[in-house]
Amino acid sequence: MLQVKSSGLFITFEGGEGVGKTTQIQQLETRLKENDRDVIVTREPGGTPAAEAVRNLLSHEEFGGDWTPNAELMLLNAARAMHIRDVIQPALEEGKIVLCDRYIDSTRVYQGHLARLDMNFIMDLERQIVGTHIPDLTFIMDLDAEKAMERVQSRGAMDHYDRGDLTLYQKLRDGFLSIANDNPNRCVTIDADQDAQKIADAIFSLTQEKL
Protein backbone atom coordinates (compact mmCIF):
# COMPACT_ATOMS: atom_id res chain seq x y z
CA MET A 1 0.00 0.00 0.00
CA LEU A 2 1.42 3.39 -1.01
CA GLN A 3 2.01 6.06 1.60
CA VAL A 4 0.71 9.46 0.47
CA LYS A 5 3.18 12.23 1.27
CA SER A 6 1.83 15.62 2.40
CA SER A 7 4.22 17.59 0.17
CA GLY A 8 4.79 17.03 -3.52
CA LEU A 9 7.43 15.20 -5.46
CA PHE A 10 9.74 16.90 -7.96
CA ILE A 11 10.97 14.67 -10.80
CA THR A 12 13.17 15.80 -13.66
CA PHE A 13 14.02 14.06 -16.93
CA GLU A 14 17.43 14.75 -18.41
CA GLY A 15 19.64 13.58 -21.24
CA GLY A 16 21.05 14.64 -24.59
CA GLU A 17 19.08 15.19 -27.76
CA GLY A 18 17.04 12.29 -29.15
CA VAL A 19 17.00 10.12 -26.02
CA GLY A 20 13.19 9.85 -25.73
CA LYS A 21 12.45 12.04 -22.69
CA THR A 22 9.16 13.38 -23.99
CA THR A 23 7.63 9.95 -24.62
CA GLN A 24 8.61 8.78 -21.15
CA ILE A 25 7.24 11.88 -19.45
CA GLN A 26 3.89 11.31 -21.18
CA GLN A 27 3.92 7.66 -20.15
CA LEU A 28 4.64 8.47 -16.52
CA GLU A 29 2.00 11.20 -16.46
CA THR A 30 -0.60 8.74 -17.77
CA ARG A 31 0.29 6.03 -15.28
CA LEU A 32 0.33 8.41 -12.32
CA LYS A 33 -3.06 9.81 -13.31
CA GLU A 34 -4.43 6.28 -13.63
CA ASN A 35 -3.32 5.88 -10.01
CA ASP A 36 -5.22 9.03 -8.99
CA ARG A 37 -2.10 11.09 -8.49
CA ASP A 38 -2.18 14.85 -8.93
CA VAL A 39 0.51 15.46 -11.53
CA ILE A 40 1.66 18.34 -13.71
CA VAL A 41 4.03 18.24 -16.66
CA THR A 42 6.28 21.16 -17.45
CA ARG A 43 9.54 21.87 -19.23
CA GLU A 44 12.64 24.04 -19.38
CA PRO A 45 13.35 26.43 -20.80
CA GLY A 46 9.67 27.28 -20.47
CA GLY A 47 6.72 26.42 -18.29
CA THR A 48 5.31 29.95 -17.86
CA PRO A 49 4.35 32.52 -20.54
CA ALA A 50 7.45 34.60 -19.77
CA ALA A 51 9.73 31.58 -19.71
CA GLU A 52 8.22 30.23 -22.95
CA ALA A 53 8.95 33.63 -24.51
CA VAL A 54 12.57 33.19 -23.43
CA ARG A 55 12.55 29.71 -25.00
CA ASN A 56 11.37 31.24 -28.26
CA LEU A 57 14.11 33.86 -28.08
CA LEU A 58 16.72 31.15 -27.52
CA SER A 59 15.55 28.96 -30.38
CA HIS A 60 14.57 31.73 -32.77
CA GLU A 61 16.29 31.26 -36.13
CA GLU A 62 17.48 34.84 -36.06
CA PHE A 63 19.30 34.55 -32.73
CA GLY A 64 19.34 30.78 -32.13
CA GLY A 65 23.00 30.11 -32.70
CA ASP A 66 24.16 33.61 -31.93
CA TRP A 67 23.73 34.18 -28.20
CA THR A 68 27.04 34.17 -26.39
CA PRO A 69 27.13 31.21 -23.97
CA ASN A 70 26.97 33.66 -21.04
CA ALA A 71 23.95 35.43 -22.49
CA GLU A 72 22.29 32.04 -22.98
CA LEU A 73 23.05 31.10 -19.37
CA MET A 74 21.45 34.33 -18.12
CA LEU A 75 18.33 33.83 -20.21
CA LEU A 76 17.98 30.23 -19.06
CA ASN A 77 18.27 31.30 -15.43
CA ALA A 78 15.83 34.17 -15.88
CA ALA A 79 13.31 31.70 -17.31
CA ARG A 80 14.02 29.25 -14.48
CA ALA A 81 13.45 31.86 -11.78
CA MET A 82 9.97 32.56 -13.17
CA HIS A 83 9.23 28.87 -13.63
CA ILE A 84 10.12 28.02 -10.04
CA ARG A 85 8.15 30.90 -8.55
CA ASP A 86 5.03 30.54 -10.68
CA VAL A 87 4.79 26.80 -11.37
CA ILE A 88 7.15 24.45 -9.55
CA GLN A 89 7.00 25.85 -6.03
CA PRO A 90 3.19 26.33 -5.91
CA ALA A 91 2.58 22.83 -7.33
CA LEU A 92 4.89 21.20 -4.79
CA GLU A 93 3.27 23.17 -1.97
CA GLU A 94 -0.10 21.82 -3.12
CA GLY A 95 1.31 18.29 -2.86
CA LYS A 96 1.46 17.67 -6.61
CA ILE A 97 3.93 15.55 -8.52
CA VAL A 98 5.89 17.78 -10.88
CA LEU A 99 7.41 16.15 -13.98
CA CYS A 100 9.87 18.53 -15.61
CA ASP A 101 11.51 18.01 -19.00
CA ARG A 102 15.08 19.30 -18.38
CA TYR A 103 16.29 21.42 -15.46
CA ILE A 104 19.56 22.16 -13.65
CA ASP A 105 21.49 19.22 -15.10
CA SER A 106 20.91 20.47 -18.64
CA THR A 107 22.52 23.77 -17.67
CA ARG A 108 25.46 21.99 -16.09
CA VAL A 109 25.94 19.87 -19.21
CA TYR A 110 25.07 22.23 -22.09
CA GLN A 111 26.48 25.45 -20.66
CA GLY A 112 29.19 23.76 -18.55
CA HIS A 113 30.54 20.62 -20.24
CA LEU A 114 29.63 21.71 -23.76
CA ALA A 115 29.95 25.51 -23.92
CA ARG A 116 32.71 25.35 -21.28
CA LEU A 117 31.50 28.21 -19.11
CA ASP A 118 33.08 28.43 -15.67
CA MET A 119 31.44 25.69 -13.60
CA ASN A 120 31.81 27.73 -10.39
CA PHE A 121 29.83 30.55 -12.00
CA ILE A 122 27.15 28.11 -13.18
CA MET A 123 26.89 26.54 -9.73
CA ASP A 124 26.78 29.94 -7.99
CA LEU A 125 23.92 30.99 -10.23
CA GLU A 126 22.22 27.66 -9.60
CA ARG A 127 22.39 28.17 -5.84
CA GLN A 128 20.97 31.69 -6.17
CA ILE A 129 18.15 30.85 -8.56
CA VAL A 130 17.24 27.30 -7.58
CA GLY A 131 17.96 27.39 -3.85
CA THR A 132 16.29 24.41 -2.24
CA HIS A 133 14.23 23.49 -5.31
CA ILE A 134 16.44 20.54 -6.14
CA PRO A 135 14.64 17.56 -7.70
CA ASP A 136 13.78 14.59 -5.49
CA LEU A 137 14.48 12.26 -8.40
CA THR A 138 16.17 12.71 -11.78
CA PHE A 139 15.97 10.23 -14.62
CA ILE A 140 19.03 10.49 -16.83
CA MET A 141 18.06 8.97 -20.17
CA ASP A 142 21.21 7.45 -21.63
CA LEU A 143 21.72 6.49 -25.26
CA ASP A 144 24.71 5.69 -27.46
CA ALA A 145 25.81 8.94 -29.16
CA GLU A 146 25.54 7.58 -32.69
CA LYS A 147 22.00 6.28 -32.11
CA ALA A 148 20.93 9.57 -30.55
CA MET A 149 22.28 11.51 -33.51
CA GLU A 150 20.51 9.19 -35.97
CA ARG A 151 17.20 9.67 -34.13
CA VAL A 152 17.48 13.46 -34.19
CA GLN A 153 18.51 13.56 -37.84
CA SER A 154 15.63 11.32 -38.84
CA ARG A 155 13.09 13.64 -37.20
CA GLY A 156 14.68 16.79 -38.70
CA ALA A 157 16.95 19.34 -36.98
CA MET A 158 15.16 21.81 -34.71
CA ASP A 159 17.75 24.05 -33.05
CA HIS A 160 21.47 24.73 -32.99
CA TYR A 161 22.21 21.81 -30.63
CA ASP A 162 20.22 19.36 -32.78
CA ARG A 163 22.45 20.23 -35.69
CA GLY A 164 25.63 19.14 -33.91
CA ASP A 165 28.02 16.38 -34.95
CA LEU A 166 28.85 13.11 -33.20
CA THR A 167 31.39 14.77 -30.89
CA LEU A 168 28.62 16.96 -29.49
CA TYR A 169 26.39 13.95 -28.79
CA GLN A 170 29.28 12.16 -27.11
CA LYS A 171 30.05 15.19 -24.94
CA LEU A 172 26.40 15.45 -23.91
CA ARG A 173 26.29 11.79 -23.02
CA ASP A 174 29.52 11.98 -21.00
CA GLY A 175 28.31 15.11 -19.21
CA PHE A 176 25.02 13.56 -18.10
CA LEU A 177 26.68 10.29 -17.08
CA SER A 178 29.19 12.16 -14.96
CA ILE A 179 26.34 14.01 -13.18
CA ALA A 180 24.56 10.69 -12.57
CA ASN A 181 27.77 9.29 -11.15
CA ASP A 182 28.31 12.29 -8.84
CA ASN A 183 24.69 12.38 -7.60
CA PRO A 184 23.71 8.76 -6.92
CA ASN A 185 21.06 9.68 -4.35
CA ARG A 186 19.13 11.87 -6.77
CA CYS A 187 19.88 10.47 -10.23
CA VAL A 188 18.97 7.16 -11.85
CA THR A 189 20.45 6.33 -15.24
CA ILE A 190 17.96 4.74 -17.63
CA ASP A 191 19.13 2.72 -20.62
CA ALA A 192 17.16 4.49 -23.36
CA ASP A 193 17.98 1.83 -25.94
CA GLN A 194 15.16 -0.49 -24.85
CA ASP A 195 11.54 -1.00 -25.70
CA ALA A 196 9.61 2.16 -24.65
CA GLN A 197 7.12 0.16 -22.56
CA LYS A 198 9.92 -1.53 -20.66
CA ILE A 199 11.50 1.84 -19.92
CA ALA A 200 8.12 3.20 -18.79
CA ASP A 201 7.65 0.23 -16.42
CA ALA A 202 11.07 0.86 -14.83
CA ILE A 203 10.45 4.60 -14.48
CA PHE A 204 7.00 4.06 -12.95
CA SER A 205 8.27 1.57 -10.44
CA LEU A 206 11.20 3.83 -9.41
CA THR A 207 8.74 6.71 -9.01
CA GLN A 208 6.44 4.63 -6.82
CA GLU A 209 9.36 3.92 -4.51
CA LYS A 210 9.67 7.67 -3.90
CA LEU A 211 5.97 8.25 -3.18
**Residue 110 in contact with ligand TMP, rule: CB under 6 A:** yes
- Least Å from the CB of residue 168 to ligand TMP: 10
Report DSSP letters for the chain, one per residue.
Answer: -PPPPSS-EEEEEE-STTS-HHHHHHHHHHHHHHTT--EEEEESS-SSHHHHHHHHHHH-TTTTTTS-HHHHHHHHHHHHHHHIIIIIHHHHHTT-EEEEES-HHHIIIIIIIIT---HHHHHHHHHHHHTT---SEEEEEE--HHHHHHHHHHH---STTTT--HHHHHHHHHHHHHHHHH-TTTEEEEE-SS-HHHHHHHHHHHHHHH-
- Least Å from the CB of residue 110 to ligand TMP: 3
Site string for ligand TMP, 41-70 (x = CB under 6 A): --xxx-------------------------
How many residues line the site for ligand TMP (CB under 6 A)?
A: 12
Q: Which of 144, 159, 174, 201 binds ligand TMP (CB under 6 A)?
A: 159
- Least Å from the CB of residue 159 to ligand TMP: 6
Binding window for ligand TMP (CB under 6 A); candidates: 25-33, 87-95, 103-111, 145-153: 103-111
